[in-house]
Amino acid sequence: MKVTEDIRYIGVNDHQVDLFEGQFEVPLGMAYNSYVILDEKTAVMDTVDQNFGDEWMENLKAALGGRKPDYLVIQHMEPDHSANIVRFLSAYPDTTVVGNAKTFAMMEQFYSLPEDMKRQTVANGGTLELGKHTLTFVFAPMVHWPEVMVTYDSADKVLFSADAFGKFGANDVEDPEGWACEARRYYFGIVGKYGAQAQTLLKKAAGLDIQVICPLHGPVLSENLGYYLALYATWSSYRPETEGVFIAYTSVYGHTKAAALELAEMLREKGCPKVSVADLARDDIYECVEDGFRYSRMVLATTTYNAEIFPAMREFISHLTERGYQNRFVAFIENGTWAPTAAKCMKAMFEKSKNMTFAENTVTIKSALNGESRSALEALAEELCR
Ligand code: FEO
């Protein structure tokens, strides 16, 4: 597939993966992207996952059309992209592998490299001349590993963006929800903690004339780039994307769930622009994480459990706080039959989150909703719509 006159897509689609990176469900599969730049010299941009070496090598051979690859550029050492380096070198031992000092240190850790491997170590801002195309390497540490670099091709105005602007889902199936949903789940699940570093990368990108973004996952982006850049600017700055309320609950016998659903109904009746409800024990946890970051307000409802909180709620809050959760409005609903303490425990978990506002109204349910706790729920609904 042609990306531009001189750039070919040689990636693969994975519909066998059960959990991407050992934890993310990917019902639409996953794409591992790789590209070839054909100029006086040829450059291959990254490899693919270990299970797709045969297919990728075939794609590469076809794209090269009998030529030899001069360079293999490694932008990211995570094995979903680097797993075929050794295999590539056994077929093309004369190719020079291009990376930075951290890239090569990780490469030695992961793989048994040929002793005579040709390597070119580049600095931040370093360039590689292919002929008409000059590649400039821009380090993007922690988006998503410390060795990551992105690559700008000034001839075709292409940014090879590594994991940035990637999404879950293979490229040979249409995503019924469009780009943003699975890109948001990918961003917050994988890169979310590193908002500051993603912001730094966006600032560097703002100085470049970019017509095409070639990420390592998901589709090549060539139209309406402002849309994708604006979403990344929102996500990486921890600003809410959608005005509305996300209600996340856990429930043992259904009473806490009933309160969550009643609150959602109250909010809808009051005209709240968007209300989303999730069962933390049953819904995809990373869908919940993305919604926690997406909405301007969040309500957490859980039972008191072992004088603490229900495990799925603890796990969820940890997912948020370890990813730098901040700048949000959060309310609590607790349920306890003899000693409800969940609200206090939940609030304490946000201790390190910056710029948080907590609702004045905390709802305490003793076993099941009654007149008193229902009134408290009404008061919370009022406050959330203020
Ligand atoms: Fe797609 Fe961080 O690897």
Tens place of pLDDT for every residue, the chain, 386 residues?
999 999 999 999 999 999 999 999 999 999 999 999 999 999 999 999 999 999 999 999 999 999 999 999 999 999 999 999 999 999 999 999 999 999 999 999 999 999 999 999 999 999 999 999 999 999 999 998 999 999 999 999 999 999 999 999 999 999 999 999 999 999 999 999 999 999 999 999 999 999 999 999 999 999 999 999 999 999 999 999 999 999 999 999 999 999 999 999 999 999 999 999 999 999 999 999 999 999 999 999 999 999 999 999 999 999 999 999 999 999 999 999 999 999 999 999 999 999 999 999 999 999 999 999 999 999 999 999 98
- The residue whose C-alpha atom lies closest to atom 3 belonging to ligand 1 is 78
- Burial class of residue 116 (count of CB atoms within 10 Å of its CB; 0-12, 13-18, 19+): exposed
8 A C-beta contact, residue 231 and residue 269 = no
- The residue whose C-alpha atom lies closest to atom 1 belonging to ligand 1 is 163
The pLDDT of residue 243 is 97
Contacts of 36 (CB under 8 A, 6+ apart): 7, 8, 10, 42, 43, 44, 45, 60, 63, 64, 69
Distance (Å, whole) CA 99 – CA 334: 52
The pLDDT of residue 132 is 98
The pLDDT of residue 194 is 96
**Distance of alpha carbon 57 from the chain centroid:** 27
Global pTM value: 0.96
Helix (H, G, I), strand (E, B) or coil at 366: coil
Length of the chain: 386
* 271 CA to centre of ligand 1 in angstroms: 40
8 A C-beta contact, residue 328 and residue 356 = yes
Containing H/E element for 96? strand 96-99
The pLDDT of residue 374 is 98
* 31 CA to centre of ligand 1 in angstroms: 11
- ∠ CA 339-343-348 to the nearest 5 degrees? 120
Phi, psi dihedral angles at 227 (to 5 degrees): -60, -50
- ∠ CA 340-341-347 to the nearest 5 degrees? 140
Distance (Å, whole) CA 69 – CA 87: 14
The pLDDT of residue 331 is 98
Distance (Å, whole) CA 93 – CA 114: 9
Q: Which of 45, 22, 50, 49 is CA-nearest to residue 35?
A: 45
The pLDDT of residue 98 is 98
Here the tokens at position 183 are: 């890109």
Here the tokens at position 115 are: 């002793």
Here the tokens at position 227 are: 């849309």
* 292 CA to centre of ligand 1 in angstroms: 23
The pLDDT of residue 29 is 98
Phi, psi dihedral angles at 189 (to 5 degrees): -70, -40
Is residue 6 in contact with ligand 1, taking CB distance under 6 Å?
no
Phi, psi dihedral angles at 203 (to 5 degrees): -65, -40
What is the position in ligand 1's atom list of the atom closest to the CA of 190?
Answer: 2
The pLDDT of residue 160 is 98
8 A C-beta contact, residue 50 and residue 25 = no
8 A C-beta contact, residue 265 and residue 247 = no
Contacts of 370 (CB under 8 A, 6+ apart): none
DSSP 221: B
* 248 CA to centre of ligand 1 in angstroms: 28
Is residue 76 in contact with ligand 1, taking CB distance under 6 Å?
yes
